[in-house]
Every structure is written in C-alpha cells, then in structure tokens.
Amino acid sequence: MELQKSEGCFSTEKEHIRLYISGSNKRTFSPSDLMIASIASCSGEVLLSTLERKGMAITDMKIETKEKRSTGLIKRLEHVHLHYSIRGTALKEEEIKKVIQLSKKVCPMIQSVQGSISITESFSIL
C-alpha cells in the first residue's frame, strides 16, 4: 500500500477506489475511523461466516460502534464497543453469544490490538 499526500490529506488507491485520510479534515476518514472500521468489519466477517457455517442464514447485519478515548494530550483509543444487529432465519441466541466470543479470539484485527484497546460486544436479533 502506498499513501500520497495531496489536497491537505493522505490518499491511497486500490482497485480504482480512492480513500482519503486525515485527522484534521472532517470530510475524510480519520486514522481512528479506519482503525475502528477495521476492527468492526474484521470481527463482523468472522462472525458472519461462522454463523452461516453453523446453519444460521443471515440476511442482514449492521455493526454500530462506540469508542472511548483517553483524556490526556494524546487522545488514545482505549475502548471500542461493537453492537451487532442481526437479521436472519434459524438464529439461536446462545449460539450467537458463543460465536461472538470465538470471533474475538480469531479476528486478526482484534488480536492485533489486544492489550492496547479493550473490545466489548453486544448484539440484538431483529
């Protein structure tokens, strides 16, 4: 991956899609936005594929995130909460709880920040 500084922010391109990144430009994604999106989407992919392997047909999933930052000079990301809203058929609440805990153990992004950023999860069945 290569990032290029231009127009007051960094950008990168993949498959003809350009992503703009800046901590100060409110019209772009911030590095923290991308970190949170990476954690959420990675865990969501693991959760989705595991639930489907267990016979649950997922028709829709939304992940809402909430973050907590430190209060010091450097507003370090300390905590991310992920709330999964899941719609589908043959959904089993107890099985979803187990799969969420498993996904936390095998999601590469969560494992990459383990010990630095605390991650909690909740879910609702729609």
Q: What is the pTM assigned to this prediction? A: 0.86
Report d(CA 50, CA 43) in Å as an integer: 11
Which residue segments constitute the domains of the chain, with CATH numbers given?
Answer: 30-125 (3.30.300.20)
What's phi and psi for 12, nearest 5 deg? Answer: -140, 155
Q: How far is CA 52 from CA 40, 92, 93, 96, 120, in A?
A: 18, 12, 14, 11, 22
Each of the 126 residues of the chain gets a pLDDT tens digit; together they read: 888 888 788 888 888 888 888 877 777 788 888 999 999 999 999 999 999 999 999 999 999 999 999 998 888 999 999 999 999 988 999 999 999 999 989 999 999 999 999 999 999 999
For 29-33, the CB contacts below 8 A with 24+ separation are 32/67, 32/77
CB atoms within 10 A of CB 89: 9
